[in-house]
């Protein structure tokens, strides 16, 4: 089963890290990705640009609206994601608990819902 691990952190804390602290965190995260890859658990991971680069899109009554920045002001911001393959939620939580980001912020673990493409209806 696939699980999306959403990595939340406080951008201010990351910005306050020294270059060597940041480099160590990145190296640890990449090493863990490689460990998951070797175990067949890793699917994909990416780090997001800072929230000030975000644009929120809404459509209401057919009208497009865009807003600079994230959807909501929160203490922690979505900083990246890792898509993993795990037997069940317990294993996914175990995998997420070892992610370096869990020590700095939080990891939201959510199962992927596979949508099925329905066959088109035949003309009658």
Where do the domains of the chain lie, and which CATH numbers do they carry?
A: 2-111 (3.30.70.1060)
The tens-digit pLDDT sequence of the chain (124 residues) is: 999 999 999 888 999 999 999 999 999 999 999 999 999 999 999 999 988 888 888 899 999 988 887 666 677 888 999 999 999 999 999 999 999 999 989 999 999 988 887 766 666 5
How many of the other CB atoms lie within 10 Å of CB of 24?
Answer: 13
Nearest to 71 by CA among 59, 49, 54: 54
Number of H helices, E strands in the chain: 4, 6
Model pTM score: 0.82
3-state secondary structure of 94: helix
């Amino acid at each position: 089963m696939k699980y999306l691990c959403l990595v939340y952190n406080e951008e201010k804390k990351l910005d306050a890290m020294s270059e060597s602290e940041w480099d160590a965190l990145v190296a640890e995260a990449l090493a863990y990705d490689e460990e998951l890859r070797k175990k067949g658990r890793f699917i994909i991971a990416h780090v997001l640009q800072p929230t000030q680069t975000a644009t929120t899109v809404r459509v209401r009554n057919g009208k497009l609206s865009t807003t600079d920045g994230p959807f909501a002001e929160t203490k922690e911001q979505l900083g990246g994601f890792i898509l993993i393959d795990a037997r069940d939620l317990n294993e996914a939580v175990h995998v997420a608990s070892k992610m370096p980001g869990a020590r700095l912020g939080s990891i939201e673990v959510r199962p992927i819902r596979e949508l099925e493409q329905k066959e088109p209806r035949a003309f009658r």
